[in-house]
Chains A and B, each alone.
Chain A
């Protein structure tokens, strides 16, 4: 058989090609994620399935978009977010590099977050509203349909709250959910009994550049692709050399016999 097409060499090429392609695919995936914060201005109501892919970050283009969800409340999983006000935008620190203490006019209380289990058994954190007396708010139960605005996890790069407010993060929602949870949360747009609907932090898709963490991971995978490519060339070259030496030895042996 031609030494360039031995089964071993073909296997090396197949493994090399698959490995390099896998690294490039992973770099591409990270690059897509890095651009998760590029804005797409479009605040027309969309279906929840369109807005929030399960097992992935909430795309920036989904932030601030109105949607409607139907599901079943999980009464045991309430989260209370203290030291908050009705207007989410007034809680945002304009200078995320420093701690800012803001003086608010108006009531300070809690955002009541209940977990809704959707038809696909995934969980979604829903900010049902604002109250100063959370003990008076009955636990949500049964099936419900909520219209609201999607928000990112409050630990996204570039977002910091004033007054050291505890952020409402996806981690917190995951920790309080029985099933796999969506990234971010929904802010209900309607008053719910004594709960007053809050004004969400984001009312339009997020405008801020790239997510540098994912950019770093992108180059990381490109770096890996180059290394894997180098190894592929080296291993293939060694294999060819061995084949050449083996052929040479075999030829010498044949000559000696004759």
Chain B
């Protein structure tokens, strides 16, 4: 395996895991505020959800590329991809993957 290529893909995955995790966390707080507490929707609410809709597939691509390098099983790859849909979970999986990589 080309070390430099792997380092790039690893960094790509880490950045996307943190970005998707952070955006999802903010969106979850907003969702609770709007739906749970009945506060008005902020102006960027719809745009933020749409942005998450585009960031998540990029995270999926990053996970997929890393999975091919690390020879993950199909099930494990899917689980790590799905972690991007659960608030905070992408941070946890990123830490676990970091341990595996190190």
Q: Give chain A's interface residues, CB within 8 Å of chain B.
A: 213, 216-217, 220, 223-224, 227, 230-231, 234-235, 238
Contacts and interface: CB of A to CB of B under 8 A. Distances in A.
Contacts of A230: 61, 64
B74 A220 contact: no
A213 B47 CA distance: 8
A234 B68 contact: yes
B53 A234 contact: no
Given A216-B50, A220-B50, 15 more contacts: A213-B46, A213-B50, A216-B53, A216-B54, A220-B53, A220-B54, A220-B57, A223-B54, A223-B57, A224-B57, A227-B57, A227-B61, A227-B64, A230-B64, A234-B68
Contacts of B61: 227, 230
Contacts of B74: 235
B20 interface: no
A202 to B, nearest CB: 22
Interface string B58-76: 0011001000100000100
B64 A217 contact: no
A220 B54 CA distance: 6
A220 B49 CA distance: 12
From DSSP, what is the main secondary structure of chain A's interface residues?
helix
A234 B53 CA distance: 23
Contacts of B57: 220, 223-224, 227
Nearest to B74: A235
A171 B54 CA distance: 26
A223 to B, nearest CB: 5
A224 B46 CA distance: 20
A227 B54 CA distance: 12
Contacts of B50: 213, 216-217, 220
A235 B74 CA distance: 8
B69 to A, nearest CB: 12
A231 B50 CA distance: 23
A238 B50 CA distance: 33
18 contacts: A213-B50, A216-B53, A216-B54, A217-B50, A217-B53, A220-B50, A220-B57, A223-B57, A224-B57, A224-B60, A227-B57, A227-B60, A227-B61, A230-B61, A230-B64, A231-B64, A234-B64, A235-B74
A213 to B, nearest CB: 6
Contacts of A238: 68
Nearest to A234: B68
A234 B61 CA distance: 12
Contacts of A213: 46, 50
B78 to A, nearest CB: 9
B12 to A, nearest CB: 14
A223 B50 CA distance: 13
A220 B55 CA distance: 10
B1 to A, nearest CB: 15
Nearest 7 CB-CB pairs, A to B? A220-B53, A216-B50, A223-B57, A227-B60, A227-B57, A224-B57, A231-B64
A235 B61 CA distance: 14
Nearest to A171: B41
Contacts of B54: 216, 220, 223
A123 to B, nearest CB: 20
